[in-house]
Amino acid sequence: MTNKEILENIKKLSKQEKRNLSYNNLVEIMNILNTDEIIELSNIIGYPVLTRLCMGELKHKFVLLQDGAAAIIVNEKGQILLQSRADNDKWGLPGGCQELGERFEDTIIREIKEETNLDITEDNLELIAIVSGNSRKNKYPNGDVVINNTALYCVKNYSGTLKWDEESKNMKFFDLDNLPMNQNDQDLIAIYRKTLKNE
């Protein structure tokens, strides 16, 4: 089997099957791939997932530093869009992890499309802040602990019909003074509130 066929076969796996690749299987695969093919493999599986898989038995013990982007999507009423996450029952901002070779702008445009079905362009992005530190520590139900470095954007212009994928249970716009209690991204929303005061 050629390297291209190996990557095509991995693409066909379900999300769960990709997460269940064994460490030994991964070692076999990565030993025959060149650097560009490993980057492609990472983008097929997802960089944080691939990183965890490469850690073998330590994958849920090691605290992972990961880069990503999040968006404050604002409608015409000044409300912000939150998603009720399927993995932890908390309301958070659309966004996600950066893939290898991706710019933050590409990350947030891709993540918004995947998670909300909304279309935005780079011209629609306003960088609010790069947020890092302990406020960005997150623990997932599977035991993974990460600390995110997050490029936070504001988006006021978008098109498309709001629709969510399996990562969300619900998605809706909220008034800033009536946000749900169980929030995932309170630190990011607090930074957005500060920018509004400074306008």
CA atoms within 13 A on the CB side of 158: 25
Of the pLDDT bands very low, low, confident and very high (cuts 50, 70, 90), residue 174 is: very high
**Close Cβ partners of 158 (under 8 Å, ≥ 6 residues apart):** 73, 112, 118, 119, 120, 124
The tokens of 36 are what? 């560009």
Query: Domains in the chain, start-ordered, CATH in brackets?
Result: 3-58 (no CATH), 64-198 (3.90.79.10)
Q: How many of the other CB atoms lie within 10 Å of CB of 97?
A: 20
* DSSP codes joined into one string, 99-132: PTT--HHHHHHHHHHHHH--B--GGGEEEEEEE-
6-45 tens-digit pLDDT: 999 999 999 899 999 999 999 999 999 999 999 999 999 9
Average pLDDT over residues 157-171: 88
| CA gap 69, 6 in Å, rounded | 30
